Amino acid sequence: MSAHLSAPSSAKPVAWTDDDLIRHGTPAFRRTNLALFAAGLSTFGLLYCVQPLMPMFSAHYGISAAASALSLSLTTGVLAFAMLFVGGVSDAWGRKSVMVASLLSSAVLVLLTALMPNWYALLTIRTLLGLTLSGLPAVAMTYLTEEMHPESIGLGMGLYISGSAVGGMSGRLISGVVADYFGWRIGVAVVGVVGLVCGLMFWRALPPSRHFRPQALQWRALLSRFAGMFHDAGLPWLFAEGFLLLGAFVTVYNYLGYRLLAPPYNLSQAVVGLIFAIYLVGTFSSAWMGHLAGKLGRRKVLWTAFALMLFGVACTMMTSLWLIILGITAITFGFFGGHSIVSSWVGRRGGVAKAQASSMYLFSYYMGSSIAGASGGLFYADYGWPGVALFVGVLVLAGLLIALWLYRVQPLPQLVTPPAPMSKGAMP
């Protein structure tokens, strides 16, 4: 039985029309997407700002590439587990309040990272960051599926992920370039300040939830919803796609800097940081492929994202720098397009358990980053870039096969009853 077919007893149907939902082209849509664009920029800038600094960590602290990757893998690992429960917390406390607290506390922690005296203290702060960051991604997906019209959610999710793409690019680019001139501590601090400004912008711009109804935390019911999702024909495979998508993508970017800083390329830290500007293609592909999937059907478009990533992995095996850049561009385009499709698909298929479905998807997604991102360092240590490319190629090929299998999964009937609007005086 699908997770969407049985609502909890506390969910009372209400009469409302499509006019209650946010549609593209309206002022509410523009405010929502401005806020979520800023949230994505902040969250993923704060999360990934250490990625281009990994070679600097290795040189400064005398640690291996795999050990340096812990500065990201520990964060994403804690983030993955925390997001299993943050959806339930937002059911009780409200979507917007949880997201605001997440953004502001995370920015403060990144500012503190720049002050840490040693490697173990830095890892401690990065671990705590995974906990605070968890309040944004899963809840943002839930907010969109609750507040946006079905015809607009693909575009809305794509624009949110575009902000994530710009954030991931900006955090990496700013920290990488600034670190080359002023040191990694200043680079991290600048990213923290940007994150704080974006968090305040989000707080001001995001409209309050209109279709959120607070519910008391009921752990038994929460665990039952998690278990129920695995009876659905499609959701477990969508969770696996999230693991494979981010696992492949992060592994490539984790060890790209090591390859390009070494002979025969010998690029500077600043130039390697500039390569992260390739993330800009994600701002286009996430919105475009998300919108295309909304028109043609997600099952008809998803496989193309993995096919493009597989082509990109093959290009990175070449020695030409331009072919490597082409490959990274193809991987980035396919990744952001695929994530946009899968994340919106999970939200729609999750039904009344959409918060838990989003949390489970993002658990799998960030576990892919944590496990594959760290494991790739072992392949790099033993086999260099060919080992990394082979490892990533296997992940992407598995994702392609699952996408082709998902083509056969039947779509769900459009019968989900939206939750009641938030009662007066409830937490926004």
Angle ∠(108,360,79) on CA atoms, nearest 5: 20
Take residue 49 and report the two structure tokens written for it. 């700002």
Peptide bond into 214 cis (omega under 30): no
Report pLDDT for 13. Answer: 37
Report pLDDT for 34. Answer: 85
CA distance 133 to 257: 25
Angle ∠(343,172,393) on CA atoms, nearest 5: 55
* pLDDT, tens digit (0-9, with 9 covering 90-100), for 203-231: 988 887 776 665 666 666 666 666 666 66
0.85 surpassed by pTM: no
Largest CA distance in the chain: 66
Residues of the chain predicted below pLDDT 50 = 1-17, 413-428
Report pLDDT for 248. Answer: 96
> Which of 175, 167, 130 shows the shortest CA–CA distance to 39?
167
Report pLDDT for 412. Answer: 57
Q: Map out the domains of the chain with their CATH numbers.
A: 18-216+230-406 (1.20.1250.20)
Report pLDDT for 269. Answer: 81
Report pLDDT for 343. Answer: 84
Report pLDDT for 229. Answer: 67
